[in-house]
Amino acid sequence: MSSRAADRPSPPRGASTPPEASAAALQTRGAVAFLTPALLLIGIFLVFPALWTLYLGITDYRLTGIQAAQPQVIGLDNYASALGDPAFANSLWVTLLYVLGSAVIGQLGLGFALAWTFRRWRGPARNALEVLVIAAWIIPSSVVAFLWIAFLDTHNGTLNAALGNADIPWLFSWPLLSIIVFNTWRGTAFSMLLCGGALNTLPPSHLETARLAGASTWQQLRDIVLPSIRGHLLTNLLLISLWTFNDFTPYLITAGGPNFATDTLPVYIFRNALINFQLGYGAAISAILLLINLVIALVYLRLLRARS
C-alpha cells in the first residue's frame, strides 16, 4: 500500500518535491514530539481497547451469567456461528444496500449536486438551504431520529400530510428505502462541503475554455470536473462509507425491523452485545465489520492508485 500515489495529485507540492526534502522543514525529532500526544492518546484509548475487543471475539464472554464469571476461549466458534446465521447474512446484505443507497448514491450524489449548484449561486435562499442541509447533519441523532419517526408517521406524519393525507405506512412498507432516504438527509452536508472544497480547487479557466468550446454541462462534468477531483471524491466516499457502515442511528427509527428489513450490522451487533449481552459474539462481528471496512479501504486505495 504505497502512499506515494496518494500524494501525487496535490498541486502545490506535486511529485517534483523529493520525499526527503521535507525533512529539511521538519526534523525527525520535532516530528516525533508532534506525533507523541496524538499517538499516546490513540494507543491507550483506541488501540488497546480495540485489541482487547478483538481478543474477546475468540471467547464466549458475556456480561452476565456463568460465562461472565468464567469465560472460555472458544477459538473461531463465534465466527463460524456468525457465518452460519441467516440473520447475519441478512444484516450484511441490508448493510450493503444501506451503504450503497444512502452513502454512495444518496449522500455523494446529492452532496455533489448541491456543491455544483452552490458553486456560483449566491443569495439568501442559497444560504438558507445550506444552513438547512448542515443543520440536518449536526442536530443530535436522538433528535433527528425522532423527527423522522414523526415525519414518516402513518396517520400524523408530515410526509403523508404533504401528500394529501396519504396514510402510507412508510416505515412498514418501505423500511429500507425510508432509512436510506433518512441517512441521505442526515449526511449529505459532509459530502456537500467536501465536494464544494474540491470544486474550489479547479481553475475556473478550465471550465470557461470548455464552455466556449461548446461542451454541455454533462460533458464538462464528465471530461473535466470529475477526473480532476476524483481523488477528493474517492476519499469522501471512503469516509462516508466507513461511517455509514458503522452507523447506528437507523436503530432509533426502526429498531431493525420490520421483520429485520433494516437490521444493519451495527444493529445486529447492538442486539447481540447490548440486549443479549453476548459480548464475545458481538466482538467477533465487530471484527468481521472491521475486515469489511478494510476491504473498502483497500478498494479505495486501489482506485486511487489506478487513476494515474
Partner 1 sequence: MVRDGTTPTPGSIPGPSEAALQVRRLLSRIGFYLFIVIVGAYFALPMLWLVFAPFDPHPTLAAAVPSSVTLSNFSDLLKNPNALRSLVNSIVLAGATMVLVVAAAAPAAYALSRVRIPGRDLLLYVLLLFSSVVTGTAAMVPLFLLVFNLGLINTDVGVVLVLAGGLMPAGIFILKDFVDSMPKSYEESARVFGASSFQILRDIVLPYARPGLAVIAVWVVVNVWSNFLIPFILIRDPGLMPAAVVVYNFYTEGGQADLRLLSSFGLLYSIPVVVMYLFVNRRYGFRFYGGIKG
Partner 2 sequence: MNANRRPTRITALLATAALVLTACSGSSSPSPSAAAASAAASAGGNQPSSSPAAQPSSSPAAQPSSSPAGAPVTLTIAANAVVGGKSDQEATWLTNYVIPAFEKEMAAQGKNVTVTFNGTGVADEQYKAQLALDLKSGSGADVFDMDGIWIGEFAQANYIKPLNQILPAADTWDGWSQISPAVQANMSYQGQRYGISSGTDGRFLYFNKDVFAKAGLPADWAPTSWQDILTAAQTIKDKVPGVTPLQIDAGTAMGEATTAQGFLPLLVGTGVKLYDETTQKWQGNTPQIQDVLNFYKQVYTTGLGDPQIQLAAKGRDQSFLEFSQLKIGILAEGDYMWRGVINPTGGVNPMPNRATEVGWTLIPAKTPGSGVNGQNFVSISGGGGRVLNPNTKNPAEAWALLSFMASKDSVLQYTNGQPQITQRNDVNAQILSSDPVLTFVATKVLPLTAYRPGFAVYPQVSQALQLASQQVFNGKSVSDAATEYNATLVKLVGADHVVSGG
Of these partners, partner 1, partner 2, none, which one is at the site of residue 66 (CB under 5 to 8 Å by kind)? partner 2
Site string for partner 1, 233-272 (x = CB under 8 A): -xxx-xx--x--xx-------------------x--xx--
Size of the site for partner 1 (CB under 8 A): 130
The whole-angstrom separation of Cα 231 and Cα 297 is 13
Tell which positions 223-262 bind partner 2, by CB under 8 A. 253-260
Sign, CA torsion 264/269/275/278? positive
Contact call for residue 137 and partner 2 (CB under 8 A):
no
Contact call for residue 283 and partner 2 (CB under 8 A):
no
Total residue count of the chain as it appears in this document: 308
The whole-angstrom separation of Cα 183 and Cα 191 is 12
Contact call for residue 173 and partner 1 (CB under 8 A):
no
SS3 of residue 73 by DSSP: strand
Rounded to the nearest 5°, which phi and psi values hold at 73? -75, 125
Q: How far is CA 144 from CA 52, 79, 133, 286, in A?
A: 33, 34, 13, 26
Pick from 96, 104, 113, 177: which binds partner 1 (CB under 8 A)? 113
The whole-angstrom separation of Cα 40 and Cα 43 is 5
Least distance to partner 1 from the beta carbon of 48, Å?
7
**With CB under 8 A as the contact rule, which of the stretches 12-20, 88-96, 164-172, 292-300 interacts with partner 2?**
164-172
Contact call for residue 63 and partner 2 (CB under 8 A):
yes
Compute the half-sphere exposure of residue 4: CA atoms within 13 Å on the CB side of its CA.
Answer: 8
Q: Which residues bind partner 2 (CB under 8 A)?
A: 40, 44, 48, 52, 55-56, 59, 62-71, 73, 81, 149, 154, 169, 171-172, 253-260, 274-278
